[in-house]
Every structure is written in C-alpha cells, then in structure tokens.
Amino acid sequence: MAVIRNKTGKGNLLYAQSGGVTAVINATACAVIQACRRHRVGVYAGRNGIIGVLREELIDLAREDASAIAALRYTPGGAFGSCRFKLKSLEADRARYERLIDVLRAHDIRYFLYNGGNDSADTSLKISRLSAELGYPLNVIGVPKTVDNDLPVTDSCPGFGSVAKYTAVSIAEASLDVESMCESSTKVFIMEVMGRHAGWIAGAAGLAATHRDAAPHIILFPEVPFDQESFLARVKATVERVGYCSVVVSEGLKNRDGKFLADAGTVDAFGHVQLGGGGVGPLLAQIVKDKLGYKFHWAVPDYLQRSARHLASKSDVEQAYAVGKAAVEYALAGKSAVMPVIKRTSSSPFKWKIQAAPLDQIANIEKKLPSNFITRDGYGITAAARKYFEPLIRGEDRPPYDATTGLPKYARLKRVLVKKKLPRYDIAD
Amino acid sequence: MAVIRNKTGKGNLLYAQSGGVTAVINATACAVIQACRRHRVGVYAGRNGIIGVLREELIDLAREDASAIAALRYTPGGAFGSCRFKLKSLEADRARYERLIDVLRAHDIRYFLYNGGNDSADTSLKISRLSAELGYPLNVIGVPKTVDNDLPVTDSCPGFGSVAKYTAVSIAEASLDVESMCESSTKVFIMEVMGRHAGWIAGAAGLAATHRDAAPHIILFPEVPFDQESFLARVKATVERVGYCSVVVSEGLKNRDGKFLADAGTVDAFGHVQLGGGGVGPLLAQIVKDKLGYKFHWAVPDYLQRSARHLASKSDVEQAYAVGKAAVEYALAGKSAVMPVIKRTSSSPFKWKIQAAPLDQIANIEKKLPSNFITRDGYGITAAARKYFEPLIRGEDRPPYDATTGLPKYARLKRVLVKKKLPRYDIAD
C-alpha cells in the first residue's frame, strides 16, 4: 500500500521508547529533541512508550531545559519510560491502532519516531500502513535500539556497543582477581550475560582474551548446544594449564534438545530445583563443583550490564546520537516506513554512515551470530568476530561526576504531561 | 616482648599481598616499589602471598620496568598473587614461622610488608615477635587492605572506597533502567553485595538515594535480623508509591536466629533447595515473587564489584598509594609491628593523614557498621553514615584505555623469581 507522506513540514513530532532500555537510548532521545528544536518542530514523548500514547499521556518536551536535554546524552535508562507492550496484527488490534491515530491527530502529530527493536519496527510499519489507509498523513520512522544486537540490515544496534564494552572489561577485571587468588582459592569463575536467543554479548566478552591463556577461557553461546562432558573437560584442562578458568555463559544456553538450561525442567535433570528465577550461571557453577570439585564463584550482572553508562563505548554513543538525528531529518524530509541504519565502510579506522532502510526488511527478523564468528570448538570467537566487535567498544564517553557525591550527574526531567483532549482510554480494553 | 628493630638501613624489603584482592591493592604495591627504588632498597614480592614466601618463591622486582610498576597504580587484582592461608598461633605453627624467618634471612630481608586485613595484621604481629625471639632484626609493617572496611583504628580501608563507588553507581544506573520499565515489566530489583559480617558495602549503596524516593529503597544489613513480613510490606508500599522497588542486600543477611539466609537450611524453610552456591539475592527475589507476585530481576556482581578498577574512587586510590608509601618510610625509619592507618581530619573538604598504629590494636578486631549509621526502621542509612561514606567515593581515577581494543591498559608483569637458596619446602607439611 502506498504511504501517504507528510511533506508539509508542519505538525508535531512524537518520540517513544520501546522494549528493554539501554545505556545509550537517551542519547538517541537527546538527538531527536535537539534536532526538533533546531528545526522548530514541536516534540512530545510518549510516557512509558506506546502505553502512554494510547492513554494520551504525552510529555511536553518544550517544558524541559536545554541543559537537561543535553544531559540525556549521558544518562542511562529510558528518560520517558519504556514498555513491554506488543500490538498484534492490524485486524486483531484494530481498535488500539485507531486510538493511536486518534491521539496523534488530536495533537497534530505528523511525525512518529518509535525507538526499539524488532517488535517496534513491526509496530511502526503497521501504524504507517493504517495511517495511509485512514488518509492521515504521517511519517513513521523506526529508530534502532537493542542490546541484543539482533536487528538485520544495520551493522550494529545502538546499545550493544556499550554492553559489549561493559562485558569485556568486567570479565577482564574479575579474571585478574581470580588469577590472583587461584593458588589457594577460587579456581572457576562464571559470568552469566544477557542474550536469550543470540550470543552477541557473550561473543563480545571474548574481546578480553587479548593474549594466549587470557580470560575468558570458555564462552558458551546460545548458538552452540551445551555438551556437559566436553565443557567439564575443557574447564579441567584450563585449570591445570592456566591455574584457573573464566567462563562467560549466555543466559540463552540450550541443551541438545533446544531447551534452555536455566529452565526448571533442565535444572531438575541435574537434581536441582530452580531458585529465584534460575540462572544458568549458578547452575553451571554447581555442575563444576559437583563434577570437578573446584571452588567456584559466579556473577550475574543482569541490568547492571545494560545500564552501565559510566562505561559506555564512544562508538556506541555516537551511533545512538546519529540514528536519532537522522530519524528526525528523514521524517522532516518526507520519508516514512524506514529506519536509519548503520552502514560500516571500514573497521580500522572505524568508519560508518547512516542510511535509510525500509522497515519491512527489518520488522520481525532476528540476526543471529554468524557461524564464522565462533571457533570450531564452539568455545571462543574468531578473528572475523574480533574485527567486527572491536570497533564497537572503542573509545570512552564518560558522564560528568558530581564532585561532592562522587556519583554521575544523570539527567532528571520534569516530564510534564500535555493537557488531554480525548476521552479516557483503558489499554486493557 | 621488645621488638628488635633494624635500624641499619641495610637489607632488602619483602612485600606480600594477603586475602581477597581489591581494585586498588596494586596501587599500594606501586607505592611500595616506587618508594624502595627512591630509597635504593632491594625489593621482592611473595608469589601468591605468604605461600610464596614459605616456598621461597620471591619475585625479583628489580626485573620489572618502571613503566610496568607505574601501571600497577591503575591495575586491579593482585599483581603478584595473593592467598587465603592463615598461619595459626606461634606454638601450633612454629615450624612455618621459622621457615619464614629462614627465607627472609637467606635473602637478607630486613623489612617485611604484609598487605591485608585482620588476619594479616595478626600474622605480621606474630612474625615480628618471633623474629625478636630469634634475634633476627626485622621490621614488620602491616599494610591495610580490605573491601570489607572492617579494620579498627583506621578511618577506612583501601579497597573499600572503590567497591562503595561501584555499588552506589551500579544501583543508581540499574534503578534508572527498572524505573523506565516498571509500568509494564520488572517491579522489584534486588542487588546482592559483598559483606558477610558487616554492612559497609550495603550501606554505601545508600549513597545513590540522593533524593526522596530515589533508589535503593531498601537496604538489608547483616547487622539487622531479617523480618520477612516487614520487608514484604515495605516492598509492597514502595511499589505502590514509587512504581518500583530497588533493594540492596548484603550477602551476610541473617535471620533472627543469627543464621545466614543464604544457607541451605534457611532456604529449605522456604521450600527451595540451594542452587549453585546459593545467593541471598535470588532467594529474596523468589520470596517477593511467591508472596507478592511482582515481576523481579536480581543481580549478583560478585567479583566484578571488587575488581572494577575502571570505576575506582580517587580518594581510595590516593589512600591505597599513601599507605604503601608510608609503610616503606616507617620500615626504613626503624618502626615495626605497626600499620599505617588513615586518620580523617575533615569530611568536607575531605582531609586525612597517615599515622602509625600498633598492630596489636588492629589484629583480629572487626569493626562493624555503627548503629547510628542505620535508620531506625533498619532499611536505610542516616545522615551520619552519608557524611562518613561520601568522601570515600569522591573523585574518579581512571585507567588509560587502548585506542584499538577499547580495553583498559592493565599492567602485566614479568614475575621472574629470585634464585632459591634453601631446600624445597612443602607448605602442606
């Protein structure tokens, strides 16, 4: 269906965040708002993402100081709130889509920027289609974001570079600690990282292994079925050769039947009951203890890894800002149903540009770790992977710190809502 | 017993690290080695701490480049290896103590610097006494180090300020993430921190709560017996008022009978089996889920928190360096059986000085969190605590990063051993 585009240059812009937030999604928000201000376009944000749009809870960004907007560039989390709320097909969720258009129309919103992953790209596409069907001129831009790095077309996803840097630095540091103590204390250290379906984050941890026998010694990917015997043999050999063994495991590690190891059923198979939401890291540590008798420690940084703005990658922050800026420019230039994606032109020196990709090439497609990124034995990353990952964690981009409290000076916005014009709407309806 | 001091200004100095390492213990090592080089005193390090001294495995620090020594200032872990190996009383472990003196004598070591916590202070004291008894002139200096911050006399312990900063920044960042998503996702976040016997680290997390309703909303200290009903009521009230609840729990949280919650027995009481070494964080998360039904996440940073040199506190690094430098100066000036401790003279601006304290005032004494640091309800920190903690996390002291790999440039030493002069010794004997 042909998209009816807004080429008038009039109307307001709405920005909403979607899905799990990152250390740099607010850098994208910062770029969007700063670009709107430069172009004198009114700009709102959905409170808690699409939920707020449905409820007509729109944050009036004109009320925020320029300094607070600038500080978004280095503030983690989602400054306006995000949500896990997936719209179904246009047929199944027709009333909700129509409500969205009603809200946009009521506030003369002609540009909608939806900052998220696969699902959000799909929702953006549907909103674009419905607005055309309803004859409401609207430019819809999907803006990439996800620590999972699983969007197709784009070279990488803003948010990933920073979690990659956090993961590589953390395993390097913790392994120096373990190495110091291994003669008489912990011999095996296991760090569980995010990545339920793809091993991008686990793979990036491999960047820490810059020399022979450097940690991590074993990486367990969701893409490689877990083989307990082979794993234990590798742990044992590493402890005997190096003195200790550092393991990075993806939360999405599966057994040969394709079941998550962290799931209760699998855990039961080892004689244990799932505890506190499981965790494959603690489970593997217990297996190592039971079978090899080594003293172990495990870490699960969980949200710490995706919110660690204090250790953000400069490349990542720059890309997060660039996609936000481009999204506004595309929208104002009359583009719709596209996403600004990152096209890498050189790894060393790292060069990249932003270009527009059609959303229908991106929606609902998941990019897995390429098989040539994983070593033949399944436990490490290749030179090709290193070439890909390394530029993404290059450079530091630090928040300012308060000299008295010793803490980063993260932005706090006023988040004043625009006056409602429509009847109340219950999203549970 | 009177100590026979070495006032000759001759002989070599031996430095050894002991117990769990920290993000800044190598800054102390750096100071020791640089001071020895300035004073033209030969300096060795025990490989893996006292174990290496017993085995006559002494690292020849003359073989290390000045640049590598300088880089120790910003390298986490223990550069020469540390150990968990406690010497018993002089009577029970006489042979080992005599072996130590033999090794020192064989390499003309007249100054022994032992960098650790309570146990190490006790060992230092015993070595000092035995050397006097044996008529071997030796100046023994205990050098403070411990993330647990539980040494008496000193205002704080090098290593603590950095883990405190890591903990406060991490809970602030992760809570921004949780706050962003709480409308439709995680409502309760629980971060487990170190501190088996004292709540210093948990308390420092409270620094992140810089304004009303800021995270962490609940801190659980080892000093306050866990009351499940009161805790759950507090979680519920916080979620209802703020939208989410961030909890920091010390690994050493105990029930009213004084038993660790993380221990299997306690876990069984809730119908769960201990998994992968337990963890009170996952356990509490499960209790919240079972009783309140909230979606939860938990994090256990484990070694990441004490090795996070990338986020070290400048105050902490400066103090770690200062105690190392003072230790050498005390030793060369003929002092023995003392520890350089930190005396705070002002909190704002933060002023402190180093002074010598007798080891017998420090050995085996554990400093708990003062009761006036914990709010009356038991779930937060007071203004007095904030006044104490805040200067310790002030300032940043960042490692240099490699422009290509994007990783910190941590030191790697040669660690060449000095030629042995004594017969082989098996420490298991």
Confidence band, pLDDT 50/70/90 cuts, at residue A6: low
Are B277 and A267 an interchain contact pair (Cβ–Cβ within 8 Å)?
no
> Is the pLDDT reported for residue B272 higher than 70?
no
Contact B175, B242 (CB under 8 A): no
Q: Residues of chain B with pLDDT > 70: what percent?
A: 94
Q: Is residue A344 part of a domain?
A: no
Question: Residue B290: closest CA among chain A residues belongs to which residue?
Answer: A276
Does residue A246 sit within a domain?
A: yes
* pLDDT for the residue numbered B269: 37
Tell me whether 0.90 is exceeded by the ipTM. yes
Distance between CA atoms of residues B57 and B38, nearest Å: 25
Looking at chain B, which residue has its C-alpha nearest residue A303?
A: B174
Q: B226: which residues sit within 8 A by CB, 6+ positions away?
A: B220, B253, B254, B255, B256, B261
Average confidence score pLDDT of chain B: 93
Distance from CA of A7 to the nearest CA of B (A): 33
Average pLDDT of A311-325? Answer: 98
Interface probe for B, chosen from A147, A177, A178 (most Cβ of B below 10 Å), is A177
Q: What angle do CA B118, B87, B58 make, to 5 degrees?
A: 95
**Considering the domain boundaries, does residue A296 fall inside one?**
yes
The question of whether B377 is a catalytic residue gets the answer no
Q: Do B185 and A84 touch (CB under 8 A)?
A: yes
**Does residue A8 register a pLDDT over 70?**
no
**Distance (Å) from the C-alpha of residue A38 to the closest C-alpha of chain B?**
27
Question: Helix crossing, B314-332 with B160-181: angle to 10°?
Answer: 170
| Per-residue pLDDT tens over the stretch A200-230 | 999 999 999 999 999 999 999 999 999 999 9
Exactly one of B102, B122, B148, B150 is catalytic; name it.
B148
Given a cut of 70, is residue A300 above it in pLDDT?
Answer: yes
With a cut of 80, say whether residue A3 has pLDDT above it. no
| Structural domain that includes position B199 | 160-306
Contact (CB<8Å) B405/A308: no
For residue B228, what is the enclosing H or E element? helix B228-242
Distance CA A282, CA A300 (A): 8
Asked if the Cβ–Cβ distance from B191 to A304 is below 8 Å, we say yes
Distance from CA of B1 to the nearest CA of A (A): 33
Residue B326 lies in a domain: no
Q: Domain for residue A236, yes or no?
A: yes
Nearest by CB to A77, from B78, B177, B286: name it: B177
Upper half-sphere CA count for residue A166 (Cβ side, 13 Å): 34
> Could you tell me if residue A377 is inside a domain?
no
Mean of pLDDT values over B234-263 = 94
The answer to whether the CB of A313 falls within 8 A of the CB of A392 is: yes
Let me know if residue B111 belongs to a domain.
no
Q: Which of A102, A148, A150, A155 is catalytic?
A: A148
Residues of A in contact with B394 (CB under 8 A): 403-406
How far is residue A71's CA from residue A68's CA, in Å, rounded to a whole number?
Answer: 5
Comparing A277-291, B240-254, B263-277, the range with the smallest average pLDDT is B263-277
A184/B83 touch (CB, cutoff 8 Å), yes or no: yes
Among B173, B276, B306, the residue with its CB nearest the CB of A298 is B276
Q: How far is B50 from chain A (nearest CA, A)?
A: 11
Give me the amino acid identity at A360.
D
Is the pLDDT at A429 greater than 80? The verdict is no
pTM: 0.96
**A51 → closest Cβ in B81, B184, B306:** B184
Residues of B in contact with A168 (CB under 8 A): 406-407
pLDDT in tens, A269-297: 334 443 335 689 999 998 999 999 999 99
Q: Considering the domain boundaries, does residue A352 fall inside one? A: no
The percent of residues in chain A predicted with pLDDT above 70, rounded, is 94
| Domain containing residue A245: CATH number | 3.40.50.460
Instruction: List pLDDT tens digits, range A21-59.
Output: 999 999 999 999 999 999 999 999 999 999 999 999 999
Residue B205 carries which side chain, given as an amino acid letter? A
Q: How far is A8 from chain B (nearest CA, A)?
A: 34
- Helix, strand, coil share of chain A (percent; to 5): 40, 15, 45
Count Cβ–Cβ pairs < 8 Å, chain A vs chain B: 264
DSSP labels for A144-162?
E--TT---SSSSS-TTHHH
Number of domains in chain B: 1
Q: Residues B37-92: pLDDT tens digits?
A: 999 999 999 999 999 999 999 999 999 999 999 999 999 999 999 999 888 888 99
Residues 6+ apart with CB under 8 A from A211: none
Contact B168/A51, CB-based, under 8 Å?
Answer: no
Nearest by CB to residue A285, choosing from B174, B277, B304, is B277
